[in-house]
Amino acid sequence: MTEVSPDKRPSPRAGVMDIEAYVPGKSAAPHGVKLHKLSSNENPLGASPKAIEAVRAVASKLEFYPDGAAARLREAIGEAHGLNPANIVCSNGSDEIIGLLAQTYLAPGDEAILTEHGFLVYKIYTQAAGAVPVTVKESGERADVDAILAAVTPLTKIVFLANPNNPTGTYLPFDEVRRLHAGLPANVLLLLDAAYAEYVRRNDYEAGIELVSGAQNVVMTRTFSKIHGLGGARIGWMYGPAHIVDAINRMRGPFNVNAVAIEAGVAAMKDRGHVETTLAHNERWLGWLTQEMTALGLRVTPSVGNFILVHFPDEPGRSAEKADAWLTARGFILRRVTAYGFPNALRMTVGSEEANRGTVAALAEFLAR
């Protein structure tokens, strides 16, 4: 296509071309090498068989539009978590609901606070709304409540908090989350991104349901992409106060959750057995991977999710970049996290037994060279 000068074609509004596009984890291995994709925190056990069956059942009805309110899905979520479906909004992945919240509550010149190792889409959606992302330092690779509160100004409209956080796998105990909320002005929205909440096995952790239920400026977002194994179906949801739900329903697309996703989500939410099997697998291998990587002399950030962050020596030939190339050549695809502020670390999803053992063995060989 012939190039023309910028003054003779439509131009994006100011600030759009300053956004760094999100780059997902790699998903391919060299030709002829078996792929073990450990770059996107997907469920190694796959989706619930009941969800797969539900998808097959709806395949003969794809000429019909889905229910724009996703009522059955909201009811299934509400039943599983003890929530009023009227306070739930479903979305095309939790990314969409995060973007809708940014569009709805940020205006040009406003500020949104995010932590230095937080999910990259927070900055992207803040900039897309014409607002200013304010990045605050973490402490020990964990969100720092005092640093967040110190960054609040009259321009602050949203605080993004991933809890647990990706890619570190760390979390804030809920008394700290409540302290954060108590220190925020009433007009600042606290967005609790609990994408990995189901994996956490700590007595001092809460996903945010109780806080949302008793506040007017807190929402919790969740996803079906992780523990439910439905990343390809793109299903997310938000639990929030009625006035925020009303605003988001005015902003979202009329059929933003497709029929296949709705049926898969309903079936997945009801299949508690699949969730429990996934949790048992994760609990076993998360500890094993942490122990084995540490035994290799690598530092692992303590994680409560379904992934670990592995730090490599700052030595020629043993860097994360070199390790990534070594692993990729053998079909083990991990995630580079330079964009998250960790140029010498790799994030590894807890995979199948074969993938987990194979990655450790390959790294042992790499480090022993």
When mean pLDDT is compared across 3-7, 81-85, 223-227, 238-242, the lowest value belongs to: 3-7
Does 18 share its domain with 66? no
Q: Which domain holds residue 315?
A: 6-46+273-367
Last residue of a domain, one of 244, 270, 296: 270
pLDDT interval class at 216 (50, 70, 90): very high
For residue 34, what is the domain's CATH number?
Answer: 3.90.1150.10
Does 39 share its domain with 67? no
pLDDT at residue 310 tops 90? yes
Does 326 share its domain with 247? no
In the chain, how many H helices and how many E strands?
12, 13
Mean residue pLDDT across the chain? 96
Provide CB contacts within 8 A for 143, sequence distance 6+: 115, 118, 161, 163, 165, 170, 172
pLDDT of residue 270: 97
- The β-bridge partners of 348 are 308
Amino acid identity of residue 26, one-letter, is K
Does 68 share its domain with 164? yes
Is 194 part of any domain? yes
For residue 89, what is the domain's CATH number?
Answer: 3.40.640.10
pLDDT of residue 24: 83
Supply the pTM of this predicted model. Answer: 0.95
pLDDT at residue 86 tops 80? yes
Return the DSSP state at 26.
P
User: Region 101-118: what's the mean pLDDT?
Assistant: 98
pLDDT of residue 5: 80
Please report where in the chains the tokens 């990729």 appear, as a residue. Answer: 328
90: its two tokens: 């479903």
The string of pLDDT tens digits covering residues 226-274 is 999 999 999 999 999 999 999 999 999 999 999 999 999 999 999 999 9
83: its two tokens: 């929530």
Q: Do strands 299-301 and 307-311 pair parallel, antiparallel, or not at all (unpaired)?
A: antiparallel
Is 1 part of any domain? no
Does 263 share its domain with 298? no
Does 25 share its domain with 170? no
322 burial class (0-12, 13-18, 19+ CB within 10 angstroms)?
Answer: middle
pLDDT at residue 298 tops 90? yes
- The β-bridge partners of 114 are 135
Q: Which long-range contacts (CB under 8 A, 24 or more apart) does 137-146 make?
A: 138/168, 140/170, 141/117, 141/168, 141/170, 141/301, 141/309, 142/168, 142/170, 142/171, 142/172, 143/115, 143/118, 143/170, 143/172, 144/115, 145/172, 145/176, 145/179, 145/180, 145/183
Q: How many domains does the chain have?
A: 2
